[in-house]
Amino acid sequence: MTIALNMKVISPGIERRIVTLVEKYKLFDQLFAFGQPDESSRRFNQANPKLRTTIVKIYNAEQFNAALKSPLADCLWVGFIPSPDLIKRAHKLDKQVWLSLKIGEKVPKIWDQPRVSGMDGICTDWPLECRMHWRQKRK
C-alpha cells in the first residue's frame, strides 16, 4: 500500500516535521506528497530528497512530457490514462505514474485501464472494491 499525502494546506515547517517522521518509521518507499505548491516540494527535497513529490495534476500528454523534465515530479499525478509508451518513458526516468480519480468515482472499467497501461497505482475512494475487481479479472 502506498500513502498519498495531500498537502493542500501548508503550515510553516511542516515539510521538515513530516520528513522527520518518515525517516523515523522508514516509510520513504511507501508514500509521496501531492497537492503542495512547488516551493513546498523544494523544502521537502531539501529536508530529504528521498521523499517523493508531485507537481500539479497532469491532464494531457503535453503536460505529462513537461512533467518528465521537472526535478520536483518524482511521481506524476495524472487525471487521464497515459499511453503505455508515456508510462515507459516515465519509468525510465525513475518516476512513478498515479491516476487520481474524482472523489466518489466507482467505475470498474476505469480501474482496468491504468493497470493495462502499466501505471503504478490508482488513488481512489474505493480501494477495496478496486482490488476485489482486479482479483476477479485474474480468474
Q: What percent of the chain has pLDDT over 90?
A: 58
What does residue 35 show for φ and ψ, rounded to 5 degrees?
85, -5
d(CA 58, CA 80): 8
138: confidence class by pLDDT, cuts 50, 70, 90: low
Written as nine digits, the cell of 4 is: 498519498
What cell was used for 79?
Answer: 487525471
Q: What is the pTM of this model?
A: 0.84
Q: How confident is the model at residue 135 (pLDDT cuts 50, 70, 90)?
A: confident
CB-count exposure of residue 51 (10 Å: 0-12, 13-18, 19+): buried
**pLDDT category, 139, cuts 50, 70, 90?**
low
34-64 pLDDT, tens digit each: 989 899 999 999 999 999 999 878 999 999 9
**Domain range list for the chain:** 1-53, 55-139
